[in-house]
Amino acid sequence: MIYLDNAATTWPKPEAVYFAIDSAMRAHGANPGRGAYRMSVEAERLVDDTRHAIARLFNAPAPERVIFTLNCTDALNITLQGLINPNGRVVTGPFEHNAVTRPLHALRSTGVQVAAAKPDGAFGIDLDDFRALCREGLDFAVISHVSNVTGCVAPIKEIAAITHEQGGLLVLDAAQSAGALEIDMQDLGVDVLAAPGHKGLYGPMGTGVLVLAAALPMRPFREGGTGFQSENPEQPTEYPWRLEAGTINLPGIAGLAAGVRFIQSVGVNMIAEHEAALAQLLAAQLRQIEGVRVFGDKAPRTGVVSFRLGATGVALTGVILDDSFGIAVRTGLHCAPAAHRAIGTFPEGTVRVSFGQFNTAADVDALVAASRKIGAAPIGTAG
């Protein structure tokens, strides 16, 4: 099986990740930060080490403001709901995932204003429109770093500058970029970063992180046990406990730590180069097939390529690739209907290929050969 759906979750994981999860459960199976005995303290040390590793990876100023979450969606919900003021205003982009648009849609009903900048017609965000929307006032902007549909990279440094000019904070949805592109929060000007643990960071599903540049007065998303200040009826205001309550996912965090060590040993730049090279190879070869349309940069900068195969519907293309060629790709809207509207592929969506560190040029060749064959056997244009 050729796995080309790394934008959904990376697979396989590095061997060290499987091992770390197993040994965390066997050797450090105590509840971290909940006891003074050695096993609990060792478990807490593992968690703390991982906070440091994540902070270093994103050049975040304070490891205690690395919050462990269930996934990127969880991190975004905690942020959007914890940061918004009553009757506040949020500016967002044209390529946002439902992890952003659905929480914002729900906030609208509470009086929050949401404005989305237009696309620029070439798979990017219209920065003039974004600036104009920010000038009308904002609490914060929330922008996806890399579109999960086209793989195009948003100019975060400029976006951060515009946002800050208008007195807003920048929340970065790093679902597709964390681990796949170098991210320096301080250099880019990112105030809050939300990232999944199971995609570019190569950890297991059920892990994610929320990283805060400053000690923002965010409202807790959930309250509960923290293992200290137990006499206090209120959630502690100190980070990370302000936003972390209840027993955390220790085996998952151990796996995430191993994933982060893996990408640091390879080098995030090397990973980015490898994935972009495969995407460029694929995009170039697909464009040579008659009737194929590729949606994205001429020379992709990340590992995502979206396309349509002539008259063969996208869902049908995906099923045939799986059933007859053993190639796993994602088809449809990729939970990002706004992005598909922006690039004119709504409602059918696209066939999306997304590479990971373990894919090779042979995978590209197999996909291109399969696409040629499918395109040459026209039937069932429905899907």
Partner 1 sequence: MTHTNDFRSDAMQSRYARQTVLKEIGEAGQKKLAAATVVIIGLGALGTNSANFLARAGAGTLRLVDRDVVDWSNLQRQSLFEEEDAARSLPKAEAASRHLKRINAALCYEPIIEDVNSGNIERIVAGASVVVDGLDNFYARALVNQACVKHKIPWIYGACLGTYGIAATIIPGVSACLHCLLPDAGEATTPPLSCETVGVLGPAAGVIAALQSAEALKIMVGNSAATSPYLIHAGLWDNDFSELPAVRVSGCEVCGQHKYGLLESGSRMAAASLCGRDAVQVMPPAAFTMDFDLLRETLGRIFKLEENAYLLKFHVNGMEVMVFHDGRAMIFGTSDPQAALALYGKYIGG
Q: Which residues bind partner 1 (CB under 8 A)?
A: 313, 315-316, 319-320, 323-324, 331-333, 335, 337, 340, 346-349, 373-374, 377-380, 382-383
240 vs 349, beta carbon nearer partner 1: 349
In the bound complex, what is the minimum distance in angstroms from residue 320's beta carbon to partner 1? 5
12 vs 326, beta carbon nearer partner 1: 326
Nearest to 98 by CA among 131, 142, 33: 142
In the bound complex, what is the minimum distance in angstroms from residue 16's beta carbon to partner 1? 29
277 vs 335, beta carbon nearer partner 1: 335
Say which of 72, 134, 152, 335 is annotated catalytic.
335
In the bound complex, what is the minimum distance in angstroms from residue 343's beta carbon to partner 1? 13
121's CB contacts (< 8 A; 6+ apart) are none
137 vs 383, beta carbon nearer partner 1: 383
In the bound complex, what is the minimum distance in angstroms from residue 9's beta carbon to partner 1? 17
In the bound complex, what is the minimum distance in angstroms from residue 152's beta carbon to partner 1? 20
Measure the CA dihedral 284/143/168/88, to 10°. 150
Alpha carbon separation from 30 to 48, 49, 67 (Å, rounded): 15, 16, 20
Spatial separation of the C-alpha atoms in residues 125 and 160, rounded to whole Å: 13
In the bound complex, what is the minimum distance in angstroms from residue 349's beta carbon to partner 1? 5
287's CB contacts (< 8 A; 6+ apart) are 294
Nearest to 193 by CA among 207, 221, 166, 212: 212
193 vs 292, beta carbon nearer partner 1: 292
Active site residue 152: no
In the bound complex, what is the minimum distance in angstroms from residue 283's beta carbon to partner 1? 22
Spatial separation of the C-alpha atoms in residues 58 and 96, rounded to whole Å: 21
299 vs 319, beta carbon nearer partner 1: 319
11 vs 358, beta carbon nearer partner 1: 11
Amino acid at 111: G
Catalytic site residues?
335
